[in-house]
Amino acid sequence: MRKNKKQNKVKKLNIGTYLSRYKLGIFLYILVYVVASVCSLLMTIYAANAIEKISGELPDYRMGIILVLVCVGLTVVQRGCWYASGWIYSVYSSKIMADLNLDLAKQAFKLNSKTYNDHETGTFVQRIVSDPERIVDSMANIIDLFAEIITSAIMLIYISTLNIWVALISVVTVAIGILIEYKRVKVRRKNRRDLRIKNDKINSLTTEIVRSEKDIKSLGLEEELSEVSKENYMIYRKSRIKFDITDMNFYSFRSFFVDVIGLLLIIFGIYLLDLGTITLGTFMIIYSNRGSLRELIWNFGAVASNFADIKVCHDRMFSLFDEKEFVTERFGTTKLENVVGEIEFKDVSYTFREFEYPEFKPDKKKKKKEKEEPKLVSENKIFDKLSFKIQPNTTVAFVGKSGSGKSTILNLMSKMYEVEGGGGLD
């Protein structure tokens, strides 16, 4: 009973469990980035005001120089904040990743042998090593992007106050751009999931080839495995190309759209400048921040992409604690007295089955996460109705070609595998 409670507690682990251990470091990281963003915003405004002071009908060079010096001071502060954020990230990201790696590795030790046989090696390597690093990097990116979004948004609001038509064009452009990004992220998430499944297969295949190189050479399987490797790499390559090109198409269309709007804003600003409805300083603000529209839309999309990556990595990592897919060992507590040492198999059967486990997907109708049943990819009957008896204090050798079931017999003896059919073993 105690073990079951402990397992249930472990299953509730999530990334928030690890982030809560380093609240101070995360707070400092966010703080320095906010300060750096504020500095960037103030530098733009003060630089524009400096231009107005110098280029006005009554130039005020003294105030212009003061504003320029303020901009220099803000630049120094901003650079210092960026250096501090890099240092904080290096220290605390390594701690969070180490905690994740350790707990995931500990959970991997608890899994039974059949679980390892039912999954590819790359499944565990990606979840234990790669996913923690990717999820921490994505969270840091989100913090950076949010700071940039706030900066760009405030600047666009400031620019919008200068002219109502500029405000209207900016709002419509951002709305259309965000809709494009929403579609891009939705497609990207689907393609990313497919790409990682194929990447797992490649990692598993490469790992098994390296580990079994002696057996491969002795059995003369080099050409056969070369063809299998080539086929899997080609499948991965096609998925990678599809992923990159699809993302590039969305990016190109969005960039072209925003660039055209930015060009129109510059033309419109020149027109207003010619009419005398805006000053040179105001026009310089519009001109120097014409990329704010692109940055705001891009950052919204990047935030959504990083959240999608976090979702995929989070589900993959903590699926290791899912007892249905990754079954743990269940050794009993009964102690055997007066063990004789006789081992007997009675019509024992065992089949090796390979399953494909789908990722978690939201059920839109039920508004909750449901997991599909694993799909049987292949099966190979190792032996059928195997019977033998080993007497105590005797030596027995199991001889056979690779894959004939020698290791399976030993795993059944040690209860690493469960008997599927037959009278069982004693």
Q: What was the pLDDT predicted at 76?
A: 93
Instruction: For residues 236 and 385, state if they share a domain.
Output: no
Number of domains in the chain: 2
CA angle, residues 268, 269, 273, in degrees to nearest 5: 120
Instruction: For residues 233 and 378, state if they share a domain.
Output: no
Instruction: For residues 302 and 351, state if they share a domain.
Output: no
205 assigned to some structural domain? yes
Instruction: For residues 254 and 145, state if they share a domain.
Output: yes
Determine the Cα–Cα distance for residues 308 and 190; give it in Å rounded to an integer.
Answer: 10
pLDDT-based confidence at 422, cuts 50/70/90?
A: low
CA angle, residues 111, 116, 120, in degrees to nearest 5: 135
For residue 310, what is the domain's CATH number?
A: 1.20.1560.10
Instruction: For residues 223 and 263, state if they share a domain.
Output: yes
Residue 87 neighbours by CB under 8 Å, 6+ apart: none
Instruction: For residues 124 and 265, state if they share a domain.
Output: yes
333 assigned to some structural domain? no
Q: Count the alpha carbons within 13 Å of 380 in the hemisphere toward its beta carbon.
A: 9
Instruction: For residues 285 and 371, state if they share a domain.
Output: no
Helix axes 292-318, 222-275, angle to 10 degrees: 150
Q: What is the pLDDT of residues 74-124, one digit of tens each?
A: 999 989 988 998 899 888 888 998 898 898 888 888 888 777 777 777 778
Mean pLDDT, rounded, of the chain: 78
pLDDT of 364 strictly over 50: no
Containing structural domain, residue 403: 343-425
Nearest to 131 by CA among 66, 199, 219: 199
Q: Specify the range with the lowest mean pLDDT, choosing from 65-69, 95-99, 294-298, 334-338.
A: 334-338
326 assigned to some structural domain? no
Q: Specify the range with the lowest mean pLDDT, choosing from 6-15, 24-33, 250-259, 412-421.
A: 6-15
CA dihedral 8, 328, 94, 240 (to 10 degrees): -110
Q: What was the pLDDT predicted at 6?
A: 44
Whether the Cβ atoms of residue 109 and residue 190 lie closer than 8 Å to each other: no
8 assigned to some structural domain? yes
Instruction: For residues 315 and 381, state if they share a domain.
Output: no
Instruction: For residues 140 and 277, state if they share a domain.
Output: yes
Q: What is the pLDDT of residues 284-294, one digit of tens each?
A: 777 776 677 77
210 assigned to some structural domain? yes
Q: Of 321, 353, 388, which residue constitutes the final position of a domain?
A: 321
289 assigned to some structural domain? yes
Nearest to 115 by CA among 418, 422, 421, 420: 418
Q: What was the pLDDT predicted at 363?
A: 45
334 assigned to some structural domain? no
Whether the Cβ atoms of residue 407 and residue 116 lie closer than 8 Å to each other: no
Instruction: For residues 284 and 384, state if they share a domain.
Output: no
Neighbours of 219 (CB within 10 A): 14
Instruction: For residues 302 and 356, state if they share a domain.
Output: no
Q: What was the pLDDT predicted at 321?
A: 87
Q: What's the mean pLDDT in 144-162?
A: 76
Determine the Cα–Cα distance for residues 113 and 232; give it in Å rounded to an integer.
Answer: 25
Q: Of 286, 321, 356, which residue constitutes the final position of a domain?
A: 321
Q: What is the pLDDT of residues 159-174, one digit of tens each?
A: 777 777 777 887 888 8
Nearest to 375 by CA among 355, 392, 389: 355
Q: What's the mean pLDDT in 293-322?
A: 82
Instruction: For residues 20 and 162, state if they share a domain.
Output: yes
330 assigned to some structural domain? no
Q: Of 290, 321, 352, which residue constitutes the final position of a domain?
A: 321
